Amino acid sequence: MDGDLFAYQMACGVEKPLEFDGTFILSADADEGKANLDAMFDHFRETLDADRIIVALSDTENFRKTVLPTYKSNRDGIRRPMILGALKAHIEENYETFTRPTLEADDVLGILLTNPKVVTGEKIVVTEDKDLRSVPGLHWNPKKDTDPVLVSVEQADREFYAQTLSGDMVDGYGGCPNIGYVRSREIVDERRLLVRTEEEIKRGKNAGKTRVQWLAQIGHDDLWACIVSHYEKAGLTEDDALSAARVARILRTEDYDYKKKEPILWTPKSST
């Protein structure tokens, strides 16, 4: 379960504004927040008929900031819920938790879901974060799903590559300029490569100048080349695309070095 997200929700939910002679303050009852969190987790357990709950929490350090220093910088200065720390401490004291150096809770969930040995048997990731759908396996969004949803490797890869193009402004990275959620998925589904062409203008006031055009090829074998071509059309480089991909990538078991306890930064294959 996504401990970061649910602790944040419950911490926000118990904050109450109080007014004393024109002075306004916020109040939060930590015991109420803990009780609400426990009730939520119990509900998840019963709904899914789970015999084990594992709660993933983020580390205080984040490897993505070494890849892209502006990652989540849009959240700097934003007030955290008053009892968020107390709720996370409650989780650590009362539930089985997983935290790994420099990893976010999403990464921990992705690794546990795709590693058949660390946690055996059927596993279901419980979160409302759509980014986790870029990891293959069973997923359940308690706000939207009646039953767990199975995400295939192909579906997960589609989401990952599309997010590399569209970025995620919630997390403070923009992806490829002017490519949003819908268009990014169209590009990935069509495997649309843009090819740069130049031709000399023969007539008119611009005669002798060079006209640059980008021609689309559909069904290209190398999906990574397709993504890079859209970045290049936008005046960016493959390095920019790679930084976005490494930030967008929710870690799977193959993306983690278990001996060094550190992520393996995603690298494109020659053909995907």
pLDDT, tens digit (0-9, with 9 covering 90-100), for 106-116? 999 999 999 99
- At residue 129, the 3 state secondary structure works out as coil
- At residue 10, the 3 state secondary structure works out as helix
| Predicted pLDDT at 210 | 84
| Predicted pLDDT at 125 | 99
Specify the number of domains making up the chain.
Answer: 2
Which CATH number goes with the domain that contains 123?
3.40.50
C-alpha triplet 31, 33, 37: angle, nearest 5°:
115
Per-residue pLDDT band at 198 (split at 50, 70, 90): confident
| Predicted pLDDT at 250 | 98
Sequence-distant (≥ 6) Cβ neighbours of residue 258 within 8 angstroms = none
Q: Does a structural domain hold residue 164? A: no
DSSP H or E segment with residue 147: none
Angle (deg, nearest 10), helices 238-248 and 153-166 = 130
pLDDT, tens digit (0-9, with 9 covering 90-100), for 231-261? 999 999 999 999 999 999 999 999 999 999 9
What is the spatial distance between Cα 15 and Cα 137, in angstroms, rounded to a whole number?
35
What is the spatial distance between Cα 103 and Cα 59, in angstroms, rounded to a whole number?
6
Q: Let me know whether 42 and 58 are in one domain.
A: yes
pLDDT, tens digit (0-9, with 9 covering 90-100), for 132-162? 999 999 999 999 999 999 999 999 999 999 9
Q: Does a structural domain hold residue 94? A: yes
| Predicted pLDDT at 272 | 45
Q: What is the mean pLDDT of residues 5-19?
A: 96
| Residue 208 in this model has a pLDDT that exceeds 80 | no
Q: Let me know whether 131 and 51 are in one domain.
A: yes
Q: Let me know whether 183 and 213 are in one domain.
A: yes
| Residue 192 in this model has a pLDDT that exceeds 90 | yes
Q: Let me know whether 127 and 46 are in one domain.
A: yes
pLDDT, tens digit (0-9, with 9 covering 90-100), for 55-96? 999 999 999 999 999 898 878 788 999 999 999 999 999 999
Q: Let me know whether 225 and 97 are in one domain.
A: no
Choice between 268 and 172, residue whose per-residue pLDDT is larger: 268
Q: Let me know whether 76 and 138 are in one domain.
A: yes
Q: Let me know whether 216 and 232 are in one domain.
A: yes
Q: Let me know whether 123 and 105 are in one domain.
A: yes
Q: Let me know whether 131 and 191 are in one domain.
A: no
Q: Does a structural domain hold residue 270? A: no
What is the spatial distance between Cα 133 and Cα 233, in angstroms, rounded to a whole number?
28
Q: Let me know whether 147 and 185 are in one domain.
A: no
- Give this prediction's pTM: 0.92
- At residue 153, the 3 state secondary structure works out as helix
Q: Let me know whether 17 and 101 are in one domain.
A: yes
Q: Does a structural domain hold residue 160? A: no
What is the spatial distance between Cα 148 and Cα 95, in angstroms, rounded to a whole number?
22
Q: Does a structural domain hold residue 268? A: no
| Predicted pLDDT at 262 | 97
Per-residue pLDDT band at 264 (split at 50, 70, 90): very high
| Predicted pLDDT at 105 | 98
Domain that holds residue 36: 3-153+250-260
Average pLDDT, the chain: 95
Q: Are 225 and 193 in contact (CB under 8 A)?
A: yes
Q: Let me know whether 206 and 141 are in one domain.
A: no
| Predicted pLDDT at 270 | 60
Q: Does a structural domain hold residue 31? A: yes
